Amino acid sequence: MTQPSEDDFRAEVEAALTRFAPRRTERESGWGEGEDRVSVVAERSEGEAEELERLRAYRAFLAEEGLAWVDGPADHGGRGLSGRHAEVLREVEAGFQLPDDGYLRFSVSTLCPTLLAHGTEEQQRDLLPRLRTAEVLACQLYSEPGAGSDLAGLSTRAVRDGEGWRLTGQKVWSSGAHFSDIGLCIARTDPDRPKHAGLTTFLVDLRSPGVEVRPIRQLTGGASFDEVFLTDVHVPDSARVGEVDGGWSVVVTSLLNERSAIGREVGVDEALVDRLVDLARHRCADGTLDERTRDRLADVVVGTWAARLTTSRYLEGGGTPGPELALTKLLTTDLLAEISDLAADVLGAAHVADSGEWGTYAWSELTLGLPGLRVGGGTDEILKNAVGERVLHLPKDAR
């Protein structure tokens, strides 16, 4: 298939999105207009069902336009274009008023490439197009109360039952489980083997008997994470992803793609940085930034561009990302921490006491949500170990 030039593809996307949604308006000051919410996590306490319907309508529109999976294989509804073309789509999308795609992040950025690498032909044919259009929403069922960073220490069991399996256990911190249709679950199928062996992954229908989902209320007031209880849940063997007792390789693939998505798609974008600059200017009495604040803002702007370009370099050529993608997640959370700290310094007491002024107390949601981002996709401390050992080849940490 002939690859269109970036300029031609950009024009195609611009023309398509113009037919679906209005452009984001350019504002001179950017202050005091519209919703002042500052968050990088999809966690609406109200209006979630309506936002999901808008998202499904948008993804269906993209499918009709041949844009639902720009860099995906043609056999599964993709365009077969390059990763750079997919970046162009994201760049153009940023200029339009579109639904929050955070609800789709695991389905599209993590599960689709994982199924391409480990799924059966039947799973790929059935699920990949529907995941891309949001007809099917998915979540991750990995972490447990006693198995977070040490994920291989999980205790959820899967026992053979005729042509299928019976799963029993508890998962936690599962983003979006309450609105998802399926969950990619890791369970222990052979307790006598070493902990990284004897694990198998399954696609669990979250409407199955024996599945209970309980939302976890967070500091931000939202509830984007859930506990999921599995009690003798029947899963057909056709829903197994990868080989029996070979689930750890599936987990590694999915986590690498998840960290890539966090670095590429979450939070540190031009709109957030522009909001920070607007805030700093608004809070200065004479409109002039002091030298310290100006320098810190410059660090954020430069760091944001550096993180974006670093991620693009790692993803050149396609294929499964390598362990170096852990760096993109670390860059993202460090930048968000710097943004949060700078906003708090500029705001002072208005960061923790709501005076009702537009664009001030709203920053507290980013600050309160940041600890969760440092844990999601692999805790920062564990990822630093992974970078040291698997990228820099330093001596391994004592086990």
Contact 58, 50 (CB under 8 A): no
For 282, the enclosing helix (H) or strand (E) is helix 270-283
Please report the DSSP string for 91-158 in residue order: HHHTTB----GGGGHIIIIIIHHHHHHH--HHHHHHHHHHHHTTSS-EEEE--BTTBSSSGGG---EE
Q: Please state the length of the chain.
A: 399
Contact 185, 204 (CB under 8 A): yes
Nearest residue to 335 (alpha-carbon basis) of 269, 393, 277:
269
Residue 119 CB neighbours (<10 A): 21
Contact 13, 88 (CB under 8 A): yes
User: For residues 1 and 359, what is the distance between their CA atoms, to the nearest angstrom?
Assistant: 47
Q: Is 53 a catalytic residue?
A: no
For 370, the enclosing helix (H) or strand (E) is helix 364-375
Among 48, 87, 258, 338, the active-site one is 258
User: For residues 244 and 386, what is the distance between their CA atoms, to the nearest angstrom?
Assistant: 26
Q: What is the DSSP letter of 348?
A: G
For 214, the enclosing helix (H) or strand (E) is strand 211-216
- Residue 353 sits at φ, ψ, to 5 deg, of -125, 120
Contact 147, 135 (CB under 8 A): no
- Residue 336 sits at φ, ψ, to 5 deg, of -65, -35
Residue 222, token pair as written in the block:
């939202």
User: How far is residue 384 CA from its own chain's centroid?
Assistant: 19
CB under 8 Å to 334, separation ≥6 — which residues? 303
Query: Strand 138-141 to strand 182-188: parallel, antiparallel, or no bridges (unpaired)?
Result: parallel
- Residue 285 sits at φ, ψ, to 5 deg, of -60, -45
Catalytic positions, written as ranges: 258
